Structure 1
Amino acid sequence: MKKIQVIGLLLAITILAGMNFIPIGNVLTEAGRNTLGILVAVLILLITEPIPIGVTCILGIGLLALFKAVAGIPQALSGYTNPIVFFVLVSFGISAAITKVPLSKRLLVKIMSSFGKDVKKILLSIMICAALISSIVSNVATTAVFITVILQFLNIYTDESEKKHTGKSFMIGLPVASMIGGMITPAGSSLNLMSINLLEQLTGIRITFVQWMVCGIPIVVIMLPLAWFIIIRVYPPVELSPEDIRKYIETLHVPSKLSFSERYVLTLVSIMFVLWVLSSWIPAFNITLVAIIGFTFLFMPRISILTWQEFLDNVSWSAFFLVGTIISVGNALVANGVSNWIAATVLPDAIYLPVYGLVFIVAMVVFSMLIFVPVAPALISMLVAPLIDLAGAANISPVLMIMTLGLCVANCYLLPLDTVPLLTYMTGYYKISEMSKSTGLIQICMIMVVTIWLPLALSILGIL
């Protein structure tokens, strides 16, 4: 066991033991104190990984019941009955199907043929492609798919230092693009659905698919090329000859005609997207319900785009258990009044600001807290209720606060601690400190764009 893992394990145990000696009051009850202590302990275990992430998440369920943060095991498992958990599960199957048939590779070749004139444009092509695919499937799955593509491209370099230098910009740009692209639609990230779901649970207000897209698409259109520009300025890739680039594009073998399987998956995904859009007016087309039904059509007799084993092999079970457990902890945070305590301590004076200032402060708070709580689902669970209360105190729609939270928390790439950037960090092309040199500026730009556009977009939609 590594030193950091030993420290993490001892620190988590210390917090679980020490929280019993922290005084309680009218706002922070004993159950609330224990819930907060469990959350901090679980976060430390998730970050340092002395035990597998999935095991940590299962342990978190037991701790909720053991320390009486909830009434019992059924309440501790409440997060696993949330529709988002099953959306996350089936999204891995949909991602696997898109990868199995050459849809993603076909899109990449098409974009690279238009933009791939030099290495910088190839990076832009990959970032655009990753963002588009990430708009309807998991950010984790999208990043995993394109890591293979990037590694294949980097093999063109014969000089190891040039390969390493170029790989740095590509491996930082990929998770950034996946996370930015995830803002395009609610289906682009489980974090989007989590924000929407919690808002509806607590207020009865529903953010529709189209409303989210109206807010998200302009931000992505601005932020994706801006992020690319920042990355290539901070870490400029080493150029290759046009002939080397042409040969690489030729290695991406894509059949000239779409096969039956490819047409089937393309049609299925298109129908799902149309139904998701229609869900803005027809609530029966629930996003998770459509995803589940679409997922089952991948296993139809005589078609069988996927086998059951292929699906199981492509599921990130760590992500599945992480979302379920964090939602359970989030439910306990709200039920035990911890959210009110957080509101009183973290956001005390923001209600006196105008709308644009309020969005700016909330975005700053979210990105700042991501440094200490780099597990985005946990941060959503902690902040949704306080932000709804904040909106009430400021006499504005809670949609503005929750959209700010949802859009900002999805861009957790200041440090490679979130699952998405962690995938590329593990390739060894950059150090932890090197990521923030570019992504810190990207997050600042994100704050400014969200601050300017989001209140305007919601005013156009008649929500604000």
Structure 2
Amino acid sequence: MTEGADARAPAIRTSDAEARFDRTRARVGLVLAPLALIVLLSVPMPGSSPAAQRVLAIAGMTVVLWISEAIPLAVSALLAPALAVMMDVAPAQQVFAPFAHPLIFMFIGGFILAEALSVHGFDRRAALWLLTRKFVRGSPARSMVVVAVTAFGFSMWINNTATTAMMIPIAVGLCTSIRKLCPADPEVLAKQRRFEEGMLISLASAASIGGLCTPIGTAPNMIAVAELEHFAGVRIDFLQWMSFAVPVSVASLIVMLILARRRWPPALDYVEGLTDSVARELAALGPMSRAERRAVCVFGVALIGWLTPSLLRLALGEAALATAWAQRALPEGVVAMIAASLLFVVPSDPRARGDAPALMTWASATKIDWGTVFLLGGGLALGGLATDTGLAGSIGTAVDAGLGQNAAPFLVLLVITAVVITLTELVSNTATVSMLLPIIIPLGAQAGGDPVPLVLTATFAASFAFMLPVATPPNAIAYGTGLVRLPSMVSFGARLNLLGLVLLVAAGAWLLPAIRML
């Protein structure tokens, strides 16, 4: 399950049965959460300090709240560190310090940059432009590929929920255009309906996969970067992350598209005038406004700033003065905040009479997903407490013993990846990574010496939630169109989860260690 629904997302369709289940789950969570806290405080945990036991109790309560969604996820993430202070685990200054971690500000800045592109309409313009290329025109099969690839590309930089919300009307419009041009043959129309399902499900899946590519693509990525640096002393910069994530993401996208193409072939191989409606929508937008161009330029400044330390390291070497300066002066969070601040300074149209408004206003900035920011901070806080009190090490040792003394690294990788893929169908991917990384880091160190491949594989797996509408907002938005049947989503998602498990385990066992050695 991924981040909470975006404010711009269409209303998500929920059946009466699903609504009853959600209400029951929340009521059960409200009872089980305090019960978990009391039980875990009461039952002695051999070999652990009192502070570690209190952190375990708080984490257990938080996990129940995250799974049941009895209260908003962000509120649970804020409650956990507050309880840690009240229960004398650590002083408030230490417990709440992760909420000011530089990666928190990278996430805030990235959200504001993405919001600016959306406010000025560049995201929709780019999507429509791609869908009117000659490569697509006339071919339903190619239109499915381009819709998915476009969602994949935007999700690298923009919240996957916002990406899906933007792309769904375009995809539905394409489906409607194809349907109108189909012959009145019941068999052809039935095949077309199945193809429409495939287009929307592949769009949602591609949006989830695309978030893996960059550190700002989804919150778990930044949690992994922060916790590796803090608890394992390993720093992964923007370009290094992409060198790991892009090959895995592109391979996953290709596998997904092949599976979708075989599962949902188009009703017609060629449709005359397929993208005419999209072309009319693009034409209606008119030429790019000055505000659009300026917002894109500011985003380009941020991208250059994020990549500069990596490029200097590759070009000049680690010991060069310019490389050292860039690594000190251009951390990702600082670059994101400087670029985001520029949006509030640069006028949207300097030729306008009077004072032209800036590219962003604070009213627009407040629309970003602050809940995910708090969830990220709470996850980092819990992870820090688990490590500082020795809880993570104890759990890692216990898990290692459960897998077998000196368990093979491949077995550890397989089990952890399978657990994460299963868990993320029911639990937020941010919550999943926040819960498991403090355990996975010491476990990876014990199993193979280098925790990075295991941590990255588990982080990638947290975004592989393809089976259920409730698993991820992109799935829910696609299902909410009324064009997707639940059995189709579950069946396709189960196959994709299984193939994803194989791909991720292979990447974690062979690809990531090889890239890490470069």
CA 291–65 in structure 1, closer or farther in 2 if over 3 Å, else same? same
CA contact (8 A) 1:38 1:64 kept: yes
Question: Which residue matches 2:154?
Answer: 133
The answer to whether the aligner puts 1:49 opposite 2:69 as a matched pair is yes
Question: Which residue matches 1:406?
Answer: 459
Superposition deviation, residue 227 in structure 1: 0.8
Q: Deviations over 1:315-349 (max 9, x none)?
A: 12322222222222222222233322331343444
CA contact (8 A) 1:183 1:216 kept: yes
Aligned equivalent of 1:104, options 119, 123, 131 = 123
How many equivalent residue pairs? 460
Aligned equivalent of 2:390, options 326, 337, 343 = 337
Superposition deviation, residue 453 in structure 1: 3.7
Aligned equivalent of 2:337, options 281, 284, 292 = 292
Q: Deviations over 1:403-450 (max 9, x none)?
A: 222222232334333455445455555466653322222232223333
Question: Which residue matches 2:41?
Answer: 20
The answer to whether the aligner puts 1:253 opposite 2:282 as a matched pair is yes
The answer to whether the aligner puts 1:277 opposite 2:322 as a matched pair is no
The answer to whether the aligner puts 1:380 opposite 2:433 as a matched pair is yes
CA 7–253 in structure 1, closer or farther in 2 if over 3 Å, else same? same
Question: Which residue matches 1:187?
Answer: 216
Q: Deviations over 1:194-216 (max 9, x none)?
A: 11111111122212322222222
TM-score, scaled to structure 1? 0.86
CA 140–397 in structure 1, closer or farther in 2 if over 3 Å, else same? same
* 1:245 match: secondary structure: coil
Amino acid in structure 1 at the alignment position of 2:433 = I
Aligned equivalent of 1:231, options 239, 243, 260 = 260
CA contact (8 A) 2:106 2:333 kept: yes
The answer to whether the aligner puts 1:443 opposite 2:443 as a matched pair is no
Amino acid in structure 2 at the alignment position of 1:86 = F
Determine the C-alpha separation between the residues in 1 that align with 2:483 and 2:41. 43
CA contact (8 A) 1:350 1:361 kept: no
CA contact (8 A) 1:12 1:44 kept: yes
Amino acid in structure 1 at the alignment position of 2:342 = F
Determine the C-alpha separation between the residues in 2 that align with 1:165 and 1:90. 40
Determine the C-alpha separation between the residues in 1 that align with 2:466 and 2:115. 24
Aligned equivalent of 1:89, options 108, 120, 133 = 108
Question: Which residue matches 2:79?
Answer: 59
Question: Which residue matches 1:392?
Answer: 445
Question: Which residue matches 2:353?
Answer: none
- In structure 1, list runs of 5 or more residues that go unmatched: none
Superposition deviation, residue 271 in structure 1: 2.6
Aligned equivalent of 2:418, options 335, 356, 364 = 364
Aligned equivalent of 1:318, options 347, 371, 382 = 371
Q: Deviations over 1:137-196 (max 9, x none)?
A: 333332333234345545555799889755543443233212211222223222212111
CA 359–52 in structure 1, closer or farther in 2 if over 3 Å, else same? closer
Q: Deviations over 1:359-412 (max 9, x none)?
A: 44442343244356x222333233334333334334432222222222222323
Q: Deviations over 1:236-264 (max 9, x none)?
A: 67669724622332243245643322222
CA contact (8 A) 1:91 1:138 kept: no
* 1:252 match: secondary structure: helix
CA contact (8 A) 1:356 1:452 kept: no
Comparing 209-218 with 73-82, greater Cα deviation is found at: 73-82
Q: Deviations over 1:79-99 (max 9, x none)?
A: 311223222222222112222
TM-score, scaled to structure 2? 0.78
Determine the C-alpha separation between the residues in 2 that align with 1:422 and 1:60. 28
Amino acid in structure 1 at the alignment position of 2:248 = I
Question: Which residue matches 1:38?
Answer: 58
Aligned Cα root-mean-square deviation (Å): 3.3
Query: Based on CA coordinates, which of the two structures has the bigger radius of gyration?
Result: 2
Comparing 174-183 with 442-451, greater Cα deviation is found at: 442-451
* 1:188 match: secondary structure: coil
CA contact (8 A) 1:84 1:190 kept: no
* 1:275 match: secondary structure: helix
Determine the C-alpha separation between the residues in 2 that align with 1:72 and 1:323. 20
The answer to whether the aligner puts 1:463 opposite 2:492 as a matched pair is no
CA contact (8 A) 1:350 1:358 kept: no
Amino acid in structure 1 at the alignment position of 2:292 = E
CA contact (8 A) 1:366 1:408 kept: yes
